Amino acid sequence: MKTLDQTTDEILGLAAQHFKIPREELAPGDDFYKKLKIDSLRALELITRLENHFGIELPDYEVQGVTDFRTLASRIQARL
Amino acid sequence: MLDLSQYESLGAALNAAVERWPEEICLIEADREEERGRLTYREFRDAAQGIAAGLQENGFGAGDRAAILMSNQSKWLISAYAIFYCGGVLVPLDYKLSAAEHAALAAHSKARVLIVEYPIWRALSQIDLSATRVETVVVTEAPAHAELGRAIRWEEFRGATKAEFRPRQRRNAACIVYSSGTGGRPKGCVLTHENYLEQCAAVAPLWPFWPGARYLSIIPTNHAIDFMGGFIMPFTGGGTVVHLRTLRPEYIREAFTRYKITYMAVVPLILKNLERGLRERFAALPPAKRQMLNALVRVNRAATRGRPRLWLSRLLLKDIHAAFGGELRALLVGGAFTEPKTLEFFHELGIQIANGYGCTEACTAITVNDLRPFRPDTLGKPVTGMQVRIVNPGADGVGEVAVRSKTVMSHYLDDPELTAETIVDGWLMTGDLGKIDASGHLRLLGRKKNMIVTAEGKNIYPEDIENVFEGLPLKEFCVFAANYLWPQRTMTGEQLVLVARVDPAHSLNGAMRSELERCNQRLLPYKRVSGYILWDQDFPRTASLKIKRNLLAEEIGRQLDRSAVQPL
C-alpha cells in the first residue's frame, strides 16, 4: 500500500510531465489551477490521466472544489 | 400534461403527477458507462415521502426552509418533492460555491434543514456554522467509514410514521433562489408557488413533455433553467429526467444516443463547444462528403427559414441528428447572451435552439424566439402572460427592460430596500438595456451601468461589441467601460477596455496584437476599444458560467490602475 506522500509525489511527477514543467517547481500545497495555469476543463484532463495511472475512478463530485495537489492526493489515496 | 391552473402549489401538482403516471419512469441516474438506477413516479413518491416523514419527525413544518446542496442527481429532486410535501420552502444552493459562501447563504436563508452531498459536507463541516440556523443535516453518498458528526445519513433518514401532506397556497413562498450576486449583498429571490405554476403553464406548450420524453440535466439544478426544464416541466408532463454524474464531454455525447434525449438545457459556452466540435468534424470530411453536406445544409436552410420542419431536417441531415440521439427536439439555451452566428450554425443543421431572455427574478423565461421565422438577431417575443416594456427609452429606442407578470418574484429576502429599487409599481426593473422592434421582438444591448456615452452622444454597450473579438486565441475576454473599472465623476472622455486572459504559451505577441487591432478596426471608430489589459486569473463565473462582471471589475480595479491599459 502506498503512503499518502508517495501518492502525492507520483501526482506531482505526472502533472509535471503532462503539462511540461519542471518537477521541482511543484509542491504538494500548490494550487494546481494557478501553478499549472490551467482551467477546469484541463483539470479534468489531468484527473483522467491520474485515473488511468492509478487504475481508479474519481467521480467529478469528489474533486469539486479541490484545488491543491495534497487534497487531490488524499481523494485518490482513499480509493486505492 | 397536467392542467396547472387546478393546483395551488408545486407540492399539489407533483402529487397529481405521481398519481397520474405511477408506472412511468421519471428519473434515470447514470455515471459514465454505468446506469446507477431508474425510478418510476410511484417509486419517486415513496422515496420522497420517506424523507418527508423524516423531516416532519425532526420538527420541519409548513413554511420552514430547507437547503439543498447537491450536484445534479435523483436525490436532488426526491429531496425537493419531500420539502414541498411538508409545505416547506426550498433553498437551492449553488454547489460550486466555496464552503464559506455556502455557510453565508445558509445563514442568510435561515434554513433549518440542509440536505448535502458528502464531499460538500466534508468541507462545510470544517468551518463555523454557528451563524446558521441549521438543525438537521442529511448527507448523501457518505462512505461507510465516514465520520459524520451530527449529520444523518440519507439512507437512515426515514420517518417511522407516514408523512402528512401540508397544503400551501399560491401566494406562499416555494423557493428562495440566490441569483447572481454572491459577493457582498446576497440576493435571495423569494419565488412563490404561483410564480412557478404560471411560468410552467406558459412555457410547457412550447416544449411539451409526455411519458417517454427525456430531458438530460447538466446545468446545475439550483439554476432556474434546470429547475424548470429539468424538474417542474418534465414532472408535470409525465416525462423523464436523466442525470449524469459526470460532465466530461465524451459521456454527455454518449448519453444523447443511449437515452434518446428530447431536450437539454445548455449555457452558451457549452453550445459554443458543441459548435466547435462539429465544425472540426465537418472540416475533416473528405471533399466529396463535405460538398454533399453543404448541399443538404443549403436545402435545409431554405426549407426552414420560415418555420422549423424537424422531420425534414432529420431526414436530410440524418447522421448529424443521429449523433444527437435522433429524438432531440430542442436545446434550451440560457443564462447568457448567445452569438447569432452560433444560433445560425445550429439552425442550418435543423437543430432547434430555444433562445430567449430571462432572469431568476422573473422565474426563468421572459421572451422566447419561436423560430417562426428564425431571427438570430433577437431574443424573441414575450411568452404568454408576460408584459415587457422599455422604460425611459432614448432616441434610439433603448431603455431599461421592465417586466410585469404573475411570474415575477415576491421580493428579495430580508431586503426591502433592494426590493423597492427592483420592483417599481409592480414592474420588475431588470437592469438590462434593450429595445423592442416593430415585430415585437426584444433585443438586448447591455447592462445599465457598464456602458459608455461617446462625445457624439452615442451609447455603447460593451456586450454589444464583444462579438468582434470572438475567435482570437484568448482564453477569456470581456470588455468594460474604463470608468466602470475605475470610477470617475465624469460623463465625457469615456473609453472601452478589453480585458484579455491569454494562454501563457501565447502571451500577447506581436502577431496576436496585430490580430486584435484588426478585429478592433472592424468596429465603427466610436465603438472601438481604446486599449487592453492582460489578466492572468480565471474570470469569476456564476453557476451558468456567466461572467460575474461586477466582481471581475472590482478585482481589476483593486489590483491595477489605468496605467495597466496598453493602448491599441
User: Containing domain of residue A12, as a range?
Assistant: 4-77
pLDDT band at B490 (very low <50, low <70, confident <90, very high): low
Note the pLDDT of residue B138.
Answer: 98
* pLDDT for the residue B457: 43
Is residue B106's pLDDT more than 80?
A: yes
Q: Determine the residue among A38, A60, A63, A67 to mutate to test chain B binding: the one whose Cβ has the most chain B Cβ atoms within 10 Å.
A: A60
- Cα B344 to chain centroid distance, Å, stands at 21
* Chain A touched by B535 (CB under 8 Å): no
SS (H, E, C) chain A: CCCHHHHHHHHHHHHHHHCCCCHHHCCCCCEHHHHCCCCHHHHHHHHHHHHHHHCCCCCHHHHCCCCEHHHHHHHHHCCC
- For B484, residues 6+ apart whose C-beta sits below 8 A from its C-beta are B449, B450, B451, B553
Phi, psi of A20 (to 5 degrees): 55, 55
Using a pLDDT cut of 90, give the percent of chain B over it: 66
Query: Would you tell me how many other CB atoms lie within 10 Å of the CB of residue B123?
Result: 17
The number of CA neighbours under 13 Å toward the Cβ of B488 is 14
Contact check, Cβ <8 Å, B71/A61: yes
Average pLDDT over residues B197-207: 96
Residues of B in contact with A33 (CB under 8 A): 538
CB B176 within 8 A of CB B89: yes
In angstroms, the separation between the Cα of residue B396 and the nearest Cα of chain A is 40
SS3 B388: strand
- Decide: B343 and B408 in contact? Cβ < 8 Å: no
Residues B177/B224, Cβ–Cβ less than 8 Å: yes
Cβ-nearest to A64 among B32, B119, B538: B119
Q: How confident is the model at residue B455 (pLDDT cuts 50, 70, 90)?
A: low
Local confidence band at B181 (pLDDT 50, 70, 90 cut-offs): very low
Chain B residues whose CB is inside 8 A of the A56 CB are: none
The distance in angstroms from the start CA to the end CA of chain A is 8
Q: How many structural domains does chain A have?
A: 1
Domain with CATH 3.40.50.980 in chain B: 4-259
- Take residue B373 and report the three cell numbers written for it: 421565422
Contacts of B96 in chain A (CB under 8 A): 64-65
How far CA B478 is from CA of A44, B49, B61, B207, B469, in Å, comes to 25, 47, 46, 33, 9
HSE-CB of A23 using CA atoms within 13 angstroms: 8
What is chain B's mean pLDDT, rounded? 90
Evaluate if residue B225 carries a pLDDT over 80. yes
B122 close contact with A: CB closer than 8 A: no
Strand-pair category, B89-92 with B65-69? parallel
Pairing of strands B364-368, B381-382: antiparallel
Nearest-by-CA chain A residue for B119: A62
What's the average model confidence in pLDDT over B287-308?
A: 95
Task: State whether ipTM is beyond 0.85.
Answer: no
A61 in B contact zone (CB under 8 Å): yes
- pLDDT level of residue B556 (50, 70, 90 thresholds): very high
- In this predicted model, what pLDDT tens digit does every residue of A28-51 receive, in sequence order? 998 888 788 777 667 888 888 899
Q: Are strands B136-140 and B152-153 parallel, antiparallel or unpaired?
A: parallel
Contact B32 A48 (CB under 8 A): no
Nearest-angstrom CA–CA distance, B194 and B4:
10
Q: Closest Cα to residue A36, out of A9, A65, A12, A63?
A: A12
Quick one: cell of A80? Answer: 486505492
Nearest-angstrom CA–CA distance, B237 and B1: 4
Write down the residue that cell numbers 443535516 correspond to.
Answer: B137
Report which secondary-structure segment, H or E, holds B37: strand B34-40
Give the sign of the dihedral formed by CA B418, CA B424, CA B428, CA B433. negative
Q: What is B168-209 written as a DSSP string?
A: --TTSEEEEEE-S--SSS--EEEEEHHHHHHHHHHHTTTS--
The reply to whether residue A65 touches residue B475, judged by beta carbons under 8 angstroms, is no
**Architecture in CATH of B456-567:** 2-Layer Sandwich (3.30)
Question: Residue A43 has which C-alpha cell?
Answer: 483539470
d(CA B476, CA B272) in angstroms, rounded, equals 13
Report CB contact under 8 Å: A44, B248: yes
CATH number at residue A68: 1.10.1200.10
- What whole-number distance in Å separates Cα of residue B513 and Cα of residue B508? 6
d(CA B123, CA B69): 12
- Nearest partner of B374 among B392, B354, B394, B359, judged by Cα: B354
Residue B73 distance to chain A (closest CA, Å):
11
Mean pLDDT of B26-32: 94
Higher pLDDT, residue B232 or A20: B232
Assign domain B4-259 one CATH number from 3.40.50.980, 3.40.50.11540, 3.90.1570.10, 3.40.50.720.
3.40.50.980
